[in-house]
Every structure is written in C-alpha cells, then in structure tokens.
Structure 1
Amino acid sequence: MIELGKYASTVLMAYGVSLALLAGLIWQTVSASKRARRALEAQERDG
C-alpha cells in the first residue's frame, strides 16, 4: 500500500466517502431507470 504518512486517515476517509457517494449515485440511477421503464410499460399497456 502507498505510504500516506500522517494524512492516512484523512485520505482513506475521503476515499471511503467518495466510494459511498458513487455507489449511491449508481443505485439511484438504476432505481430511477427501473421506475421509468415500469411507468413506460404501463403507459404503453393502458395506452
């Protein structure tokens, strides 16, 4: 692992927060896509 010195905890915390935010954005995008697809299928079916 890269030697981070006295800033190791800060850097690792920043990486952790960044990964968590990225995972949240991916989850939100996939969720919105599924919701939109279901709405479109319902609209086409009832249409």
Structure 2
Amino acid sequence: MIIARILPDLGKYATEVGLAYGVSLGLLALLIGQSLWKGRKIKQRLQQEEKARKGE
C-alpha cells in the first residue's frame, strides 16, 4: 500500500493522527468548494450588472 510507505508508523497515535488528517483535508475541501461557489456567484452577478449597464 502506497500510504503505508509515506506515513511513518505512529503506533498508538495512528487513529488520532489519521482523524486529524481527515478533518484537515475535509475542511480544506469545504474551503475550496465555498471559494469556487462564491466565485461563480460573483461572476454571475457581475455579468448581470454588465448587461444592465449595456441596456441603459
């Protein structure tokens, strides 16, 4: 298994370290998702504003 080669043997702390990695990656994924979602929303709003200005 590739992951076993990358991570050192953590002994009795393996569960805690694994959970910390999981939570960190999950939060990072949420942050990236939120940024992408907000960026799309702002882009749509900007396009609407540009259309409104051209229509004046």
TM-score by length of 1: 0.96
Residue in 2 aligned with 1:23? Answer: 29
Asked if 1:5 is matched to 2:6, the reply is no
**Correspondence 1:42 to 2:48:** yes
Structure 2: gaps of 5 or more residues: none
The amino acid across from 2:19 in the alignment is M
Alpha-carbon distance between aligned partners in 2 of 1:30 and 1:19, rounded to the nearest angstrom: 16
Cα deviation code 1:4-45 (max 9, x no counterpart)? 100000000000000000000000000000000000000000
Structure 1: tracts of 5 or more residues without a match:
none
Q: Provide TM-score, normalisation by structure 2.
A: 0.81
Q: Which runs of 4+ in 1 moved over 6 A?
A: none
Identity of aligned residues (%): 43
Question: What is the root-mean-square deviation in Å for CA atoms of aligned residues?
Answer: 0.5
Q: Which has the larger radius of gyration?
A: 2
